[in-house]
Amino acid sequence: MNAAARSQFSGSTLVSRGGSIPVSAKVLARNGTPVPGAVVEVWQANAAGRYAHVGDKNPAPLDPNFQGYARLMTDSEGRYAIKTIKPGAYPVPSGWMRAPHVHFDVTGKVTRLVTAMYFEGDALNEQDRILKTSFNPKSQMTQMHQNEDALKATWDIVLMTG
C-alpha cells in the first residue's frame, strides 16, 4: 500500500493514551468494485472523549500525542489504512453520552459519504441518539480482532456509485 493510502493519527513516535488500533479497509462502489483515488478524511475524539478542536468545550484533557485527524487517498485497489485509538465517549449538551466513534468523510469519483464507525459491543451504542437514527446501524459497526497481542479492525466503506 502506498504512503497516500496510510496514515497515523498520532504523527509522532510518542504513545497516545488509549492504545493503538490499526484499521485497514477499502472504499468500494455498491457493485463491489474498488474506488481508487477516493479522498478519506477521518477525525475523532481522543481516549478521554475530547476533540483537538477549538470548538470542543469538553473539559476532558487533550492528549498532546494525538491529533485526531487525518486526510488520505485510497490506493489503486481502493485500500486505505489508519493507526488510531479507541476514542472515549463524551457528553452531549442535552445530557446524554455519545458512544465511542470515528468520523469519516469519503469523496469518491462521483459520490460523497459522511458516516461514522462505531465499536461493536460498546455499552453506549444502545443509547447513542445519532446512531439510533441510522438506517442500518449494524453497517456502522466494526469488529475488533485480536492479532498478535494487539487489536486490529477492518471497516470497508461502500459508496453508491464510486
Catalytic residue numbers read 51, 90, 98, 101, 103
CA pair distance 54, 10, nearest whole angstrom: 18
* Bridge partners (DSSP) listed for residue 21: 84
List Cα–Cα distances, 114 to 43, 65, 93, in angstroms.
11, 26, 22
CA pair distance 126, 139, nearest whole angstrom: 15
Q: How many CB atoms lie within 10 A of CB 142?
A: 18
CA pair distance 66, 9, nearest whole angstrom: 6
Running DSSP on this structure, what letter comes out for residue 34? B
